[in-house]
């Protein structure tokens, strides 16, 4: 499975979240688009730079959307830490690490 409009779409997200109604479709689509952008930014490279998109990207995107959809308010520090641990655990192995820049005074 790859993160494309065909594979990571509203139908997949609604199935993952177990949402049956169409009431939140606009919100979910916004979250889908945001999750794709967020992941590419975190990876420091666009999806197009990958020959094959790792399945971890789809799972990370699903987890992002689920987090945003189910917790529409700022959560506890513990919940945020657990969420970030899972997210980075899925994506760090694929991340393009940028060289550290030193700041001189």
The residues near 80 (Cβ < 8 Å, ≥ 6 apart) are: none
pLDDT in the model for residue 1: 43
Residue 25 has pLDDT above 60, yes or no: yes
Domains in the chain: boundaries? 10-94
21-24: long-range contacts (C-beta < 8 A, 24 or more apart)? 24/69
Mean pLDDT of the chain: 83
Residue 12 has pLDDT above 80, yes or no: yes
CA distance 55 to 71: 24
pLDDT band at 98 (very low <50, low <70, confident <90, very high): confident
Residue 61 has pLDDT above 60, yes or no: yes
Q: Which CATH code fits 10-94?
A: 1.10.3230
Dihedral (C-alpha) 25, 50, 95, 12: value to the nearest 10 degrees?
Answer: 20
CA distance 84 to 1: 23
pLDDT band at 44 (very low <50, low <70, confident <90, very high): very high
């Amino acid at each position: 499975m790859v993160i494309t409009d065909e594979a990571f779409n509203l139908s997949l997200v609604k199935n993952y979240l177990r949402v049956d109604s169409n009431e939140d479709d606009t919100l979910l689509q916004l979250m889908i688009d945001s999750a794709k952008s967020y992941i590419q930014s975190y990876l420091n490279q666009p999806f197009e730079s990958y020959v094959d998109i790792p399945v971890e990207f789809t799972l990370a995107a699903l987890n992002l959307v689920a987090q945003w959809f189910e917790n529409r308010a700022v959560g506890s520090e513990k919940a945020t830490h657990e969420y970030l641990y899972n997210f980075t655990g899925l994506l760090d192995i694929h991340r393009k690490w940028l060289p550290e820049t030193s700041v001189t005074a």
